[in-house]
Amino acid sequence: MRTIWWEQGQVKMIDQRKLPLEFEIASFDDYRRVAWAIKEMVIRGAPAIGAAGAYGMVLAAYQSQAETRAALIRDLEEAKVALDAARPTAVNLSWGTRRILDTAREVETEDLDLLREILLDEAEALAEEDIEINRRMGQNGLAVIPDNANVLHHCNTGSLATVEYGTALGVIRAAHEAGKNIHVWVDETRPRLQGARLTAWELMQEEIPMHLIADNAAGYLMWSGKVDVVLFGADRVAANGDVANKIGTYKLAVVARENGIPVYAVVPTSTIDLSLPSGEHIPIEERGWEEVAKFGGCQIAPDDVPVFNPAFDITPHKYLTGIITEEGIVYPPFDVNLRRVKERAEHRIAERRKERIRAREKKLKGR
């Protein structure tokens, strides 16, 4: 199931606010509206908003009235600021917008129509790479899923959180496809209920055995011996292995450690941010009153009740058994091994970019 794509000059995406009761496709032809869609969680999930950021930059290029390459790049720089501000915790967003801006700076042509085509090609390449990366993570993660395992999963990390297939849910999907006979405990994931609304829906579409649970039931299940492994995604991973993920992840990891249950974050290397030494430096997005004080459109708290609503928390690396990436499973020492896989992935991506640059140069000569 594809979450986001480009079609006839517009960015199309599944409106995740409407699921599971309604399935609607939202369309955008203005990068500012894409920024709005990211902020309002029409689209969500670190890899998915990375792709949305890239496509938003392409829309900005097509919207631009610039008559020179330099002016177009200035317009793209402005668009990048607006898109990056939509959700500050997930590093994939700024990673995706930067990739398009870097491409615009690299291609030396005053043929702006051609430059726009090249930027679209780069965004499409980013989206296709995400699908490939997710499938590789799924296969790598098979090693940590025993046959007949009960897997505890937090938030949503499936196709809806990526371009297609999924990160942590991709590992679950791969295990199901491999015939491992798994069962999934699905945290509801308050306050926005991504587990109840999205993960449960995806697993039921795939006919993967599961039960939806209240978030507070997870500890009891672990204590009862009914959880074999805990899986979740991440919105940013610091250089030392500290993980920022959906609020509630930290307490799951702590309780899992207390009960001797392995814990894995499943992340593409684009989510690893080596510029931040630890989780203390990761910006944590705070969201609005209504997400906590209302439920299904009904107010459940007193008027004007003070609300603190951090969208993410930090799980210190000491609570992680490992981090599953497209380059393999990373084990401690994370500060050494995360850098190694990040550099390997960046080298692979750079080589592919060189191939595309050579193809673009041929295209330029043909004009």
Output phi, psi for 26, to 5 deg.
-100, 145
Which one is catalytic: 75, 84, 187, 235?
235
DSSP summary character for residue 364: H
If you write DSSP's letter for every residue of 166-207 in order, what string do you get? BSHHHHHHHHHHTT---EEEEE--TTTTHIIIIIHHHHHHHT
84 is a catalytic site residue: no
Helix, strand, coil abundance in the chain, percent, nearest 5: 50, 15, 35
Q: Where are the beta strands (DSSP E) in the chain?
A: 4-7, 10-14, 25-28, 150-153, 183-187, 210-213, 229-232, 236-238, 243-246, 263-266, 272-273, 294-295, 298-299, 312-315, 322-325, 328-330
Q: What is the CA radius of gyration of the chain?
A: 21
Among 364, 359, 367, which Cα is nearest to 122's?
359
Would you please indicate which residues are annotated as catalytic (active-site) residues? 235
